[in-house]
Amino acid sequence: MLGQGRARTTSTGQRVKPLQYKIPAGQVYAAGENASTRRIIACFLAMAPNQSVIKRHLTEDMTNDTTHRTQEAMAAQNARDLTCGNAAALECPGGNPPLPRHTGGMSERTLGLIGSAAGGVEEIRPALIEPAIARGWRVAATLTPTAGWWLREFGETERIEQVTGLPCRVESRLPGDGRPHPPIDCYLACPATANTVVKLALGIADNQALTTLGEAIGTPEIPVVIFPKINIAQVRHPAWKSHTETLREAGVELLTGDDYWPLHDPRKKQEIPWLQILDAAESAVARRI
């Protein structure tokens, strides 16, 4: 029996001919328009004997189609970039303006940024990462599991990776994998929940973010700065004082007090002083030089 795919024309005007496959045992398969369909076809063909010619044509069709789609996507992106220019403030008629990208060299400073699931973490890219990049930092971001889930839902993890040029870490790497981030000059945990602060003081490292911070505290030459986004009820807990004292004794700089974060009742909204926090991280680095 004979099956036939659907012809199409690419944006460059190239006509992609449909392929016909004659399959034994009365089964008909056509080259689908998407990769998932073609992978299913390839799996069935792999089980059929003496289908080398069909497999070759199917592979050629899949390769050509992938190439055409890649070329189309690149052409569309180039057109948007030309329309939008390099200024993020300009409106782009074809979509959103291009995000600012990391373009620094290998000799620059690297900020290890840790974000946890406190309100405001959804603003971490425009409010903290992009200003840090503008100041010459390379930013390597790591998120706690819940913060990672939140930002994935918002599409922010992909945007963070785009502007930093580095993976936005949430899970630990597999054994044998290389380190995804370069050596860090300063760690900044912002925002940090009370849960993150307490676990860190107790030496609990049950996620990648806490593992990273715990190792940083054990590396005295690397400054560790933490901005706890907390409320007055959490500070009144009898264990809070001992936990913060433990971290300070270990050399951690905690950004607390009215200069950074006046304590308030739970569920009261308050703006995070992002740039003031970035200033504190830079000062911590300058004191180590």
- Judge if the upstream peptide bond of residue 167 is cis by omega within 30 degrees of 0: no
The reported pLDDT for the residue numbered 73 is: 43
Grade residue 13 by pLDDT with cuts at 50, 70 and 90. low
- pLDDT tens string 226-247: 999 999 999 999 999 999 999 9
Contacts of 114 (CB under 8 A, 6+ apart): 141, 142, 143, 144, 187, 188, 189, 190, 192, 196, 209, 212, 213
Distance CA 79, CA 45 (A): 39
| Interhelix angle 208-217/194-202, nearest 10 degrees | 50
The reported pLDDT for the residue numbered 100 is: 54
Distance CA 203, CA 200 (A): 5
Strands 8-9 and 15-16, by their bridges, are antiparallel
**Whether pLDDT at 257 is above 60:** yes
Q: Taken in order 41, 46, 49, 52, is the CA torsion positive or negative?
A: positive
Q: 206: buried, middle or exposed (CB in 10 Å: 19+, 13-18, 0-12)?
A: exposed
E-only strand ranges, the chain: 2-4, 8-9, 15-16, 20-22, 110-115, 138-143, 186-192, 224-228, 253-254
Average pLDDT score over the chain: 77
Grade residue 94 by pLDDT with cuts at 50, 70 and 90. very low
Grade residue 98 by pLDDT with cuts at 50, 70 and 90. low
| Residue 289, token pair as written in the block | 């030089």
Distance CA 119, CA 91 (A): 29
pTM: 0.66
**Whether pLDDT at 92 is above 50:** no
Grade residue 12 by pLDDT with cuts at 50, 70 and 90. low
By residue count, the chain amounts to 289
The reported pLDDT for the residue numbered 206 is: 96
- pLDDT tens string 116-129: 999 999 999 999 99
| Residue 218, token pair as written in the block | 């054990």
Distance CA 268, CA 262 (A): 11
The reported pLDDT for the residue numbered 22 is: 45
The reported pLDDT for the residue numbered 75 is: 46
- pLDDT tens string 172-204: 999 999 999 999 999 999 999 999 999 999 999
| Residue 14, token pair as written in the block | 């190239």
**Whether pLDDT at 44 is above 70:** no
The reported pLDDT for the residue numbered 289 is: 76
Q: Taken in order 110, 183, 161, 164, is the CA torsion positive or negative?
A: positive
Contacts of 193 (CB under 8 A, 6+ apart): 116, 117, 118, 144, 228, 229, 230
The reported pLDDT for the residue numbered 157 is: 97
**Whether pLDDT at 36 is above 80:** no
- pLDDT tens string 61-90: 444 444 444 344 444 444 434 333 433 333
CA angle (180, 182, 184) in 5-degree steps = 125
Amino acid identity at 111? L
Q: Taken in order 281, 287, 288, 289, is the CA torsion positive or negative?
A: positive
Grade residue 268 by pLDDT with cuts at 50, 70 and 90. confident
